[in-house]
Amino acid sequence: MNPIRLLLVDDDPLVRAGLSFMLGGADDLEIVGEGADGSEVEALVDRTHPDVVLMDIRMPTVDGLVATERLRGREEAPQVIVLTTFHADEQVLRALRAGAAGFVLKDTPPAEILHAVRRVAAGDPVLSPAVTRQLMEQAAGAGPDTRRAGARTRVAALNDREREVAVAVGRGCSNAEIAAGLFMSVATVKTHVSRILAKLSLNNRVQIALLTYDAGLLDNDADDR
């Protein structure tokens, strides 16, 4: 199996050096490049073809939010994990809406960062439903009524089965858990998830979770907050 190709982007050279040292020894991971600002990301991606970009959200010229939006708007874009110092932050939420697959704190232990990279490379998000709710509640954005109305209009494009799968994704269920709960095969779940992403023009499961939350489809989970 080919190693996961990782691109590091952070304006602090000490942070980049630390990440490179901590992650570079993994047998299944190859650090293919480093960048110091979001303005460098697209050129670096074209040159190094990473599977995952580990990107600081705060950089002086072009921040990680803008870089993520630009990158995820491209065809065959790599996955993005945002590096941040705050759990609940407006910029983190905006990066997730733009297509980032999750975020990790800068003080996260190296083993957990490596686990996050592996998960994202495999197509799994690194964001729990509880953290999603925390972000939604604490970060600023559009008014809740406007956001909910827009989300419900988009969700209306799904058929009943797709809606059930979308809600299960929003609750953080794996494909196997969704299959067991809805009495279908894992392959069928994957097909439904792919159709949901295509119908709603979304990039990943994190965006499905955010949309189901916006639409109020997870309101019955309030006791888990």
Given this model, what pLDDT does residue 152 score?
A: 93
> In 3-state terms, what secondary structure has residue 14?
helix
Task: State the Cα–Cα distance between residues 51 and 4, nearest whole angstrom.
Answer: 6
CA distance 163 to 155: 7
Whole-structure pTM value: 0.77
pLDDT value of position 37: 95
The per-residue pLDDT for 102 is 85
Walk along the chain (225 residues) and give the pLDDT tens digit of each residue.
789 999 999 999 999 999 999 898 899 999 999 999 999 999 999 999 999 999 999 899 999 999 998 998 888 889 999 988 866 567 788 888 888 888 888 888 888 899 999 989 988 777 665 566 666 665 445 556 777 888 999 999 999 999 999 999 888 788 889 999 999 999 999 999 999 999 998 888 888 988 988 888 877 654 444
Query: Both tokens of residue 123?
Result: 């197509």
d(Cα 35, Cα 13) in Å, to the nearest integer?
Answer: 9
Contacts of 209 (CB under 8 A, 6+ apart): 125, 127, 129, 132, 169, 170, 172
Provide the 3-class DSSP secondary structure of residue 168: helix
Predicted pLDDT of residue 191: 96
- What pLDDT is stored for residue 224 in this prediction? 43
SS3 60: coil
Residue type at position 195: R
What single-letter DSSP state applies at residue 157?
T
Sequence-distant (≥ 6) Cβ neighbours of residue 77 within 8 angstroms: 45, 71, 99, 203
Strands 102-105 and 29-35: unpaired
